Amino acid sequence: MKPPPFSYHDPRTVSDAVKLLASLENAKLLAGGQSLMPMLNFRFVQPDHIIDLNRVEGLSYIRESGGMLEIGAMTRQRDLEFSDVVKARWPIMHEALLQVGHRQTRNRGTIGGSLCHLDPAAELVALATGYDATVTAVGPNGQREVPFAEFPVAYMTPSIELNEMVVGVRFPQWAPKHGYAFVEFARRHGDFAITSAAVLLEGDASGKITRASVTIGGMGTAPSRAREVEAAITGQVPAGNMFREACETCRKLEAISDVHAPAEYRQHLATVMSRRALEKAYARLTGTETAPARPH
């Protein structure tokens, strides 16, 4: 349970980090280390070089700009959790972060690291999917923007080249008064969810849903949008079993079977988590939320 031998590099600038990435074979970027370090300890990965990003300047920031939340790749999950801007304008991120690991891991874990590790059950990955976030990557040929829908290419594999690194991510803003909820089922608090649901809603004065984003995490090889649910509820005033019936379509989403749960169980959870998230988000949208929010 000790990391294998490697050469260690701690560049101070993004351009130095990119140069190292371009010149070194079998190199791994070390961000917050909350996934890579266990993998090193287990020797699941055996890189020849570790490029530690913790001393790179200018990669830790939270900025509101032009209706977008701009986050530096090395921004700690803790900083996002305690950010007033995030709490006020991107409140689902605050709610989701409280379910990301524990205080000790959020103090170190970064948003860039979470997104690039790309665990299908990771809360921040589900949010980036739900928001259609945009990832900024830098490589030897300069900078490029990657829409999050194109970011996962396979299980835990982002569409980032070996000589590129993620430097930031942008989350668009929803209407000042929008409904939101992040609901997950995990065996223990702080575990990766077996299945999660992230919901954003906009509505009009009559209570009609005018815009919806419903994301299911922990199901397939990456979080995915429940487009059938979104289509079924947009333009509707919820009544009766509308959410329940709409969420039944989640049973058809692709799901993986693993040691934690079989696919059918995840598909069942997806119908339940998405319904609960929709009910909570709609209550928040219309100001009718009654039950106190669950503390984390």
Partner 1 sequence: MGESRKISLTVNGKRYENQEVEVRVTLADFIRHQLGLTGTHLGCEHGVCGACTILFDGLSARSCLMLAVQADGHELLTVEGIAPSPDELHPLQQAFHENHGLQCGFCTPGMLTTLLEFLRDNPDPTEQEVRIAISGNLCRCTGYQNIVISALDAAKRLQAVK
Q: Which residues bind partner 1 (CB under 8 A)?
A: 1-8, 10, 30, 33-34, 37-38, 40-42, 50, 52, 54, 78, 101-105, 107-108, 188-190, 295-296
Residue 29 or 233: the one with the smaller Cβ distance to partner 1 is 29
Nearer to partner 1, 189 or 251 (CB): 189
The nearest distance, CB 127 to partner 1, in angstroms, is: 21
Task: Indicate the residue among 190 and 220 with the shorter CB distance to partner 1.
Answer: 190
Minimal distance, residue 52 CB to partner 1, in Å: 7
Q: CB-wise, 63 or 103, nearer to partner 1?
A: 103
Count the neighbouring beta carbons within 10 Å of the beta carbon of residue 260.
17
Q: Give the Cβ contact number of residue 252 at 10 Å.
A: 11
The nearest distance, CB 78 to partner 1, in angstroms, is 7
- Least distance CB 98 / partner 1 (angstroms): 8
Please identify, using beta-carbon distances, which residue of 113 and 179 lies nearer to partner 1: 113
Is the CB of 76 or the CB of 225 nearer to partner 1?
76
Written as six digits, the tokens of 294 are 């669950």
Sheet arrangement for strand 68-72: 62-65, 68-72, 165-172, 134-139, 142-147
Give the integer Cα–Cα distance in Å for 102 and 173. 27
Among 210, 203, 219, 191, CA closest to 126: 219
Beta bridge partners of 145: 136
b/e sequence 223-239, b meaning 16+ C-beta within 10 Å: bbbbebbbebbeeeebe
Helix %, strand %, coil % for the chain, to 5?
A: 35, 25, 40
H or E element, residue 210 = strand 209-217
Whole-number minimum distance, CB 244 to partner 1, in Å? Answer: 29
Min dist CB 41 to partner 1, Å, is 5
Instruction: In angstroms, give the least distance from the CB of 165 to partner 1.
Output: 18
Pairing verdict, β 49-52 and 27-30 = parallel
Smallest gap from Cβ 8 to partner 1, in A, equals: 4
User: Which of 38, 67 has the CB closer to partner 1?
Assistant: 38
- Rounded Cα–Cα distance for residues 283 and 209 (Å): 12
Closest to partner 1 by CB, 28 or 225: 28
187, HSE (Cβ side, Cα atoms, 13 Å)? 3
